[in-house]
Every structure is written in structure tokens, then in C-alpha cells.
Structure 1
Amino acid sequence: MSSSSSSSSSLLYINVLLLVLIHSSIQQGILNDAISNATRRLLEAQDLKNRYLSSIVNTRNSINQKRDNLIDKQPSVKEELEKYEDCQIEVHHKELVNRLLTNLNKFQEELRRNYPKHSEKIIKELNEDIVKMKEYRDTLMDEEENKMCEKPENIDSNDLAKLSELLLKYFEDDYYIALYTLKEEYLSELIKILKNAA
């Protein structure tokens, strides 16, 4: 009877050992999938950031060229154009900070959902940045609300519309560069954490 008890004890031990190995293998597979997923998302963020970096250079050049052409036509509008551009920057900056906050909150939720066991440190850092950004946004919002930019006189409305369109494109590019730069930083940190856990 002791040999049958010993063999059933050995079988039980082997079964438990197999279950532990299977569980460990599954956990390693899940971790490898998480690393692959985070790496893919990092590469996408880097690619998109680079596209917008390239685009913003072209847009900036187009803005400068358009402004220079307008000033060449009418040198007296230079100061008005500069004020108009500064005002547009201020107005769109507030809007883009709000959009960035919205998208960072969504990104934080994605991290929490997709990497629940490994994203705690990243989420804490991201949350600290979100709080700072909210404080910054609040200082911006304390300034003049719903500001309207005074359109320069003596400039063709089509030329001004084209300049406004280019400025908006520039702000959009700048927004996406900021968003994907932050995602790149947080995903890089997440990948390090995942690899250390592997």
C-alpha cells in the first residue's frame, strides 16, 4: 500500500508541477503578447510623430511665404498680420490643450485596460502630467474667454482665409506632435517595465 500511496503522491506532484509549468508558460505568453502590442503601438506613435514633424516644417514654410507675400503687396499690414497670428496662436492653443487632455485621459484608460498589472507606475506619472496640464489649462482659461481675433483690414479675404487655414494646419500638426511624443515616452517606459517582468 505504501508503494501505491507513494506513486499516487508522485503522480499528484507531477500533475501539480505540470499545472505550474502550464500556468507559467501561459503567463509568459501573455507577457510576450503585451510587449509585442506595446512595441507595435510605440512604433505607430513614432511613425505618426515623424509624419507630423515633417508636415509642420512644410506648413511653417508655407505660412512664412504667405505672410511675406502679403507684406510685399502691402508693407503697412505687417504689424496687423503679426497681431492676427499671435491672437490665432493664443485662441487655438487653449483649444488644443483641452484636446490633449481629453486624449491623454483616453490613453490612460487604454493603459489601465490593456496592461492592468504593469501600468500602475506609468498611469501615476501620466496622471501627474495630466494634473499639471489641467492647472496650465485653467490659467489659460482665466484669460479672456471666447477671444475673437481682429481681422486685418486691407487684406484680401481669400488671402487671409488661406493664412488662417495654414495656421490651423500648423496648430493641428503641433498638437499631434505633442500627443505622439507623450505616447512615445509612456509606451517606452511601459515596454521597459514589461521586459523587466518577463
Structure 2
Amino acid sequence: MRKSKRQDAISGFLGDAAGPVNPPSCADATLFTLQNGALGVGGLVISVDPGVPYIEFRVGDGAISETFTVVNGMLYWYNVAFFGRVAGFCQVPSGQIYATFSGPDDVPPGCEPIQLVMYNELQCVDGGIIPVLPTISASATGTATGPATLPTGPTGIPSEDGIYPLGTSPTGQLCVTVTESWVPGEPTFIHDEL
């Protein structure tokens, strides 16, 4: 899992509690899975309880574990219980990553905003990320539309690019089904890149 600060363009990979916080190689990074809107490690999912302002970015036993999604390679965690309906991510000087839920002013001391980018496990070659995934794919579908507007569907959570979860749509907008290719259930790395 790799991450970088928006301003510094520093990057590294996310480790787990048993290993280094920021291993220098994707070969040593924690392997995450994104399945049915939940992000997990070893059969456990990253989660939080309602009202908690932030958590260390690791698995837990909270009530909220969905909806994680990837848009243009960037990881987002959407839920109506979060400030602005989307979690933020930040990093403290020790390297620990946090997920934040109460807005940009309610974060751990010294926590700088970062973005997390997903990479497929197959992109980790000799400890580094290759930019193009080898051709192995299956079909999946989703819906997309123009500029994001206030959501009105069952989950009602759009991305910044106006991509809505299947079964939701914005009021007064035309949605178009787009076929995407990916490897369902494949483990992935989270990577943060400027």
C-alpha cells in the first residue's frame, strides 16, 4: 500500500501492526481486499462507530464499514454518518495513517491530509509498482453521469467525478451505464500518490 502527502509528494506503502508502518517496498505492504463496499485485511474490515471523529486506519469492530469505493484509482470511504458524507485521510509524522469523519478541523494533532490510491496486487513487481495491470479481467457495471449534484438514491453517495453507486442517480440528470473491467475479489494495495 503506497501513500503520499498532497504537498510533499513523499510516498511509501502502508504496513500493518506486525510490521513497519511505512515499508519502502510494495512487497512488504499490507494486502487489502475491497469487496462489496468493505475494505479488509485477513477477513476483518476497516470500520468505525458513529460519532467517532477519527481512527487509526486499520481493521476494527465498528458498526460502519461501508462504502469504500475507488474512483480514478483514489480510495474513498462514503457514509451518510460522515462529515460531507465522505471520510478524510491524514498522516502524522510517525507515519501512522488516520481516517477522519468529523471534518478537517477534528483530526489528530499534526495530521496532514493525504490521498490513498489503490493498486492491484499484480502491479507490485520486484518491490515497485508497474503502471499498467497485466490483462486479466472480468466484467462489472456501474452508472455514471455529468457533474455531481446532490444525491437522491438509496445510498445517495456520488463521487467527485459524478459516478454513482449502482441503483442510485441524481435528480434531473441522465445516467449512462458504463462497463468497467477489473478482477473481482482480487487483493489490492492502497497507494497514495500526488
TM-score normalised by the chain length of structure 1: 0.20
TM-score normalised by the chain length of structure 2: 0.21
Which structure is richer in relative contact order (CA contacts within 8 A, separation 6 or more)?
1
Structure having the higher strand fraction is 2
